[in-house]
Amino acid sequence: MLDADFFRRWMTVTAASVNREAERLTALDSPIGDADHGTNLQRGFTAVTAALEKEAPDTPGGVLTLAGRQLISTVGGASGPLYGTLLRRTGKALGDAAEVSAEQLAEALRAGVDAVMTLGGAAPGDKTMIDALVPAVDVLGDSFAAARTAAEEGAVATTPLLARKGRASYLGERSIGHQDPGATSAALLVAGLVEASGE
Amino acid sequence: MSDERLVGIVLVSHSAEVASSVAALAKGLAGGGSAVPVAAAGGTESGGLGTSAELIAAAAAAVDRGAGVAVLTDLGSAVLTVKALLAEGDELPEQTRLVDAPFVEGAVAAVVTAATGADLAAVEAASTDAYTYRKV
């Protein structure tokens, strides 16, 4: 079972990997975006870890809703409301249980991903974070490691796609041949589950 | 009009200068528009290009006179941030709506309409209708 400590670790290790990969995320965002994805997410997850230390929510749902709120208010780019909505909806779906199973987390994340698709209007294949998240959620009930692999493969598979959402979509066919920065950061978030669980 | 309360208008842009200039333009072109509460929420809190949930929430609270608030946005994260705040339920005043409209033309139409004492639905309709004003 996964408790609030696990979810705090998930956010902390994700913040660390976003820090580590910030330059790469921004570099991916340079040819097809506005070159701020790494710095924006860094700012957001730094605020998340600070808020979690200060408020110390004691349920999995509480950790994720607080984290989501911080991302919406501090990121400054489209990834803020998108990741913020993902974590908040997932957190709300987990309710106020003190512990949740991996299957419950998979189900809650599915609700979170659905909310992101509603908010941004993106579907699988549009070259967005959805292309990493949907395959990850599909196998999350099997193992976190399987979800990590699925997310990473999903992110890599965005390279030949034509962007249909966001700033990159203005580039039309010129967006082809670049890996999507949002799918790449989404894979970091999923990989954080493995690291937090010590698998 | 049954009461004196005017609909508030919030203009959200990635740029502080764009948001405040469009606010000034809309009020200037609206004639009687000077009575309409209009607030700009442009850029990030640190003054860069982007969107700030805090600035949007503060702007909406500042123009809320109890008759509703119409929010117009430019693109991308401005649209998504307002939608996310609306989905939260308690971040923006009751009766706040994201209005689907061209930013400049929609802002002028919104302020002109709000100045007549029209309700939120009428302000939204006038603003959205600005999409149909062809220039050629």
pLDDT in tens, chain A (199 residues): 999 999 999 999 999 999 999 999 999 999 988 888 999 999 999 999 999 999 999 999 999 999 999 999 899 889 999 999 999 999 999 999 999 999 999 999 999 999 999 999 999 999 999 999 999 999 999 999 999 999 999 999 999 999 998 888 888 889 999 999 999 999 999 999 999 998 6
Q: For residue B2, which of B60, B66, B92, B74 has the smallest C-alpha distance?
A: B66
**Residue ranges of domains in chain A:** 2-197
Predicted local confidence at residue B33, as pLDDT: 60
Predicted local confidence at residue A166, as pLDDT: 83
Q: Please give the ipTM for the structure prediction.
A: 0.82
Smallest Cα distance from A9 to chain B, Å: 25
Predicted local confidence at residue B2, as pLDDT: 45
Predicted local confidence at residue A199, as pLDDT: 63
**Residue ranges of domains in chain B:** 8-132
pLDDT mean by block of 10 residues, chain B; 136 residues = 80 97 94 85 91 95 97 95 90 96 97 95 97 93
Class of CATH domain B8-132: alpha beta
Q: Quickly list H helices, A33-143.
A: 37-55, 60-74, 79-94, 102-120, 130-139
Smallest Cα distance from B53 to chain A, Å: 5
The CATH T-level fold of domain A2-197 is 1.25.40
Contacts of A81 in chain B (CB under 8 A): 53, 77, 80-81, 83-84
Residues in CB range of B37: below 8 A, 6 or more apart = B6, B8, B9, B62, B63, B64, B65
